[in-house]
Amino acid sequence: MNTTSDSLNNSFNSGVTRKVAVAVIGAGTAGQNAFRQALKTTKDIVIINDGYWTTTCVTVGCMPSKLLIAAAERAHAAKYSEEFGIHSKVTIKGNQVMARVQAERSHFESYIEKQVESWPADKKISGRAHINEEGLIEVNDELIKADRIIVATGSTPFIPDGWSEKLGDTLLTSDSVFELSDLPDSMAVVGAGAVGLELAHAFARLGVAVTLFNRKERVGGLIDEDVNAKAISCLSEGMNFYLGSEINEVSTKVDDSGRRVATIEYTDKDNKDGSWQGDYVLVATGRRNTIDRLGVENLSVELDDKNRPKNVDKKTGQVGDLEVYIVGDANVHLPFLHVASDEGFSAGSMVCGNDNDAYIRPPATPLSILFTDPQIMTVGKSKTEIEENPELEYVIGEVSFDNQGRSRIMGVNCGLLHVYGCKKTDRVLGASMVGPDAEYIAHILATAITNDITVKQLLDAPFYHPTILEGLRTALREVQHKMAIPYQSFDTQESNS
């Protein structure tokens, strides 16, 4: 480290058991990518990991949640096909649902485990690392001096103070919910962000009585008020929504049948008090990094009051001019696998010191997709970011999917897309959507933003008929039309459109 080299050199002969060029702490998506990339050009490297050697995505995140969602989609399609003239009686066997989730998760985990097994044994250390006052890494019985350190320690679910003790084994998080052996009868989900909304929607479609609580009257991180309102309308069927509510107390008690149940005392958006009770409370109030426990301050890394490292390069994860890189969920930048992957790749490139092999990836265009049904996506700049920049003369192209041709044919006709276009540059600034095939529309727009493609160029491309993607063309055509009109404020445009 630039600021600790003297102390490191002085201490090397007094207890240091290993000296390496690079140490990676954490073996999730970011850490593994950083290790693989750096290993291409230096063998003088170690990776240290506490816990499982897979990734958050595979073990407790993206993959098991999508497995649950896939089951929910099958159940929903089977139960609600009467409008197509198809009638059936559906039985959901919860133990079978969860058994498949766990079995397929193990299948995905096996690929990562085989890859980790292929790494040299002397490069892997299982144990909890701590950086001491001299800037040395303490792990198990070793004291390691590293010229460069990549911190990729990930994150853990945030649980409000006291809830673990008060709820006991009726409390679930995204780290534990996939260990259930059967589907419960009832569940409260606290938090309507990506994790909470996806899981609440999936469990509800699998027959669980789900009640969703959220402090804000917002779901899926949507900032655009119109798209948010449409998302609530599209997704509220089969779930009890208590948006804009405040949870006052949680506890457990024994019901009339002698069964221990979880209870939630809350105040709703109309300031009325209420009470919920059921089998489990799934806390989905976000994840937090744990780097304050690592001792990064001994590397001259400063953290703010929310545990976020200061002065981090969003492209490489490097902290200022230190030989310290903080990547993935640990830097609290964007908690997405593709971002963690890119940051790990870039940090591994930076430390390898080989211009031919090193490839620093640029910051990704912001992109978020929720795999509810209908899906939710945001891409590029948010409506708020655009509105706060007075230099951006923008227009909004809108399309409803309620009567869009292919959407109606498929019986998935609920949704709304807003595309934000810049009048000065003829470029897409961003978009928000709830609706069918949102994941594909998001990728098209992300590609356009990343590669500086104009609205005209997007419209010059073919849109096959009949497809849901024709809805994107409708929105882009409205953007193009409004761009030709002398600039007005957004409110005026909306009132006249």
C-alpha distance from residue 366 to each of 185, 379, 380, 395, 429 (Å): 37, 6, 5, 20, 11
Does residue 216 sit in helix, strand or coil? coil
| Cα 314 to Cα 348: distance, rounded to the nearest angstrom | 14
Place of tokens 């790494």: 119
Tens-place pLDDT, residues 63-109: 999 999 999 999 999 999 999 999 999 999 999 999 999 999 999 99
Domains with residue ranges and CATH for the chain: 5-51+127-157+288-352 (3.50.50.60), 163-285 (3.50.50.60), 367-496 (3.30.390.30)
Tens-place pLDDT, residues 319-371: 898 989 888 877 766 555 555 566 665 666 666 555 454 555 566 789 999 99
| Cα 243 to Cα 245: distance, rounded to the nearest angstrom | 5
Tens digit of pLDDT at every position of the chain (497 positions): 444 444 444 444 457 889 999 999 998 888 898 898 888 888 899 999 998 898 888 888 889 999 999 999 999 999 999 999 999 999 999 999 999 999 999 999 999 999 999 999 999 999 999 999 999 999 999 999 999 999 998 889 999 999 999 999 999 999 999 999 999 999 999 999 999 999 999 999 999 999 999 999 999 999 999 999 999 999 998 899 999 999 999 999 988 888 899 999 999 999 999 999 999 999 999 888 888 889 999 999 998 887 888 888 877 788 898 989 888 877 766 555 555 566 665 666 666 555 454 555 566 789 999 999 999 999 999 999 999 998 889 999 999 999 999 999 999 999 999 999 999 999 999 999 999 999 999 999 999 999 999 999 999 999 999 999 999 999 999 999 999 876 544 443 333 33
pLDDT for the residue 189:
98
CA angle 317, 318, 324 (to 5 degrees): 115
Contact in structure between 344 and 327 (CB atoms under 8 Å): yes
Q: Which residues of 144-163 are buried (b: 16+ CB within 10 A; e: fewer)?
A: bbbebbbbbbbbbbeeeeeb
C-alpha distance from residue 230 to each of 43, 225, 367, 375 (Å): 53, 9, 20, 12
